[in-house]
């Protein structure tokens, strides 16, 4: 999602451009058969043209919108003011995006920049899609928190992932507000069940509810896995049982037992 860097008309328009040149660029042709009007306005004849047959073929060709949402960034206009290099490119909609304003981050940074924790963003994104695409069915296909592993990071710290629990509590509450206000959201998927290989970040960035040792493939549930299981079964955003000391201690005991058993195997 995007929000204006400054409360002025140009940056408000930069938000519209940034969303049109990313989200709507993908979805408008599939639902309406043409590029977003914002792209047509700013790029004109530089855009390729769809034939009437292509338009008819594409229009309404998807049954639902899948939403991968991780963060919210500020958008700054680059047509009427100077921007950092790259922000004035046509492919970016002449808008520059950043996670900071006057040196203050838009939310708490997590382990994969430029991702910041901004829970309101998922509600804003769902509402944007709801309005633009006439509230067609939506699935949140990816939403997750990355913890960054350093050489000095202890496994116990990765397993006691309270920040991931708080992230999903806040984002699910924000999503619930959008649903209560009429958004047709049919499902929600956490990214991801297990720690995985994250492209350029490799195994150093962990999104999983389950800890995975890349050397042994040992898989251990984190605190967030226990919380999410309880959340799904109790429908409560405030289940505190998964964050108390005794549960953490029990989890650590299970971890040690699992590691010892796997070590004997290997």
Q: Which residues are catalytic?
A: 142
Residue with tokens 């000391």: 245
Please count the CA atoms within 13 angstroms of the CA of 188 that sit on its side-chain side.
20
Residue with tokens 């309270």: 162
Over the chain, what HEC string results? CEEECCCCHHHHHHHHHHHHHHHHHHHHHHHHCCCCHHHHHHHHHHCCCCCHHHHHHHCCCCCCEEEECCCCEEEEECCCCCCCCCCCCHHHCCEEEECEECCEECCEECCCCCCEECCHHHHHHHHHHHHHCCCCCEEEEECCCCEECCCCCCHHHHHCCHHHHHHHHHHHHHHHHHHHCCCCEEEECCCCCECCCCHHHCCCEECCCEEECCCCCCEEECHHHHHHHHHHHHCCCCCCHHHCHHHHHHHHHHHHHHHHHHHHHC
Strands 205-206 and 147-148: antiparallel
As given in the structure block, the two tokens for residue 170 are 């806040």
């Amino acid at each position: 999602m995007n929000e204006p860097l400054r409360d002025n008309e140009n940056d408000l328009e930069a938000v519209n451009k940034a969303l049109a040149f990313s989200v709507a660029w993908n979805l408008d042709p599939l639902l309406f058969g043409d590029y977003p009007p914002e792209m047509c306005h700013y790029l004109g004849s530089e855009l390729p043209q769809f034939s009437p047959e292509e338009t008819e073929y594409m229009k309404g060709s998807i049954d639902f919108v899948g939403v991968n949402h991780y963060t919210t960034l500020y958008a700054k206009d680059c047509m009427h003011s100077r921007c950092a290099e790259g922000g004035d490119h046509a492919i970016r909609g002449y808008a520059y995006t950043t996670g900071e304003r006057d040196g203050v981050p838009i939310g708490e940074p997590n382990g994969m920049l430029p991702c910041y924790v901004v829970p309101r963003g998922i509600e804003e994104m769902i509402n944007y899609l709801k309005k633009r695409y006439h509230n067609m069915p939506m699935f949140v296909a990816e939403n997750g928190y990355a913890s960054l592993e350093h050489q000095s990071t202890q496994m116990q710290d990765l397993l006691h992932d309270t920040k991931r629990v708080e992230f999903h509590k806040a984002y699910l509450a924000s999503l619930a507000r959008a649903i209560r206000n009429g958004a047709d959201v049919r499902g929600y998927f956490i990214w991801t069940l297990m720690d995985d290989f994250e492209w350029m970040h490799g195994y150093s960035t962990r999104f999983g509810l389950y800890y995975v040792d890349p050397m042994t493939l040992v898989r251990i549930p984190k605190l967030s896995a226990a919380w999410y299981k309880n959340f799904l079964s109790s429908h409560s955003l405030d289940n505190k049982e998964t964050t108390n000391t005794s549960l953490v201690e029990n989890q650590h005991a299970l971890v040690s037992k699992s590691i010892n058993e796997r070590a004997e195997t290997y």
